[in-house]
Amino acid sequence: MSRTEKFIIDTNILISSLLIKNSVSFQALEKARKKGVLLFSEATFHEFEMVLARKKFDKYLTEEERLQVIGKMYLEGVFQHVVSNEAISRDQNDDMFLNLAIESKAACIITGDKDLLVLHPFRNIPILTAADFLKLF
């Protein structure tokens, strides 16, 4: 099977999927992995690394476990160089996901972020909660 669909999963869904096994976020991540590829830009991956490194996650994962997760995601993910820097969302921190989606022609963005969800669909790219992704894909 050719895995050509590109899925963008926002940082909060990724972190949630790591911390709560069998959660809806975890199930969405696993389904995205099976159906296509996880897509990152340098900026989205950097945000993932920085958030996962926060002290508040010490009680869930050791530093070594977090580094292993980051390494695995880096090797597993597909990276897209993003040139555009359009200001689109009411939260400018979300623009990196939207610009990545535009340039990569992503199948969808999976998020729980209301600032992204209100844009659904964005230039014919679905912006879905993890639960909706599980129903629709």
Write out pLDDT tens, residues 64-122: 999 999 999 999 999 999 998 889 999 999 999 999 999 999 999 999 999 999 999 99
pLDDT tens column, 123-137:
999 999 999 999 999
Q: Which of 91, 110, 93, 98 is nearest to 31 (CA)?
A: 110
Residue 33 domain boundaries: 5-136
Integer CA distances (angstroms), 68 to 40, 53, 61, 75, in order:
17, 12, 10, 11
Please state the pTM of the whole predicted model: 0.94
| Side-chain half-sphere exposure of 47, counting CA atoms within 13 A | 16
For residue 89, give the CATH number of its domain. Answer: 3.40.50.1010
Q: At residue 34, what are phi and psi to the nearest 5 degrees?
A: -75, -35
Number of structural domains, the chain?
1
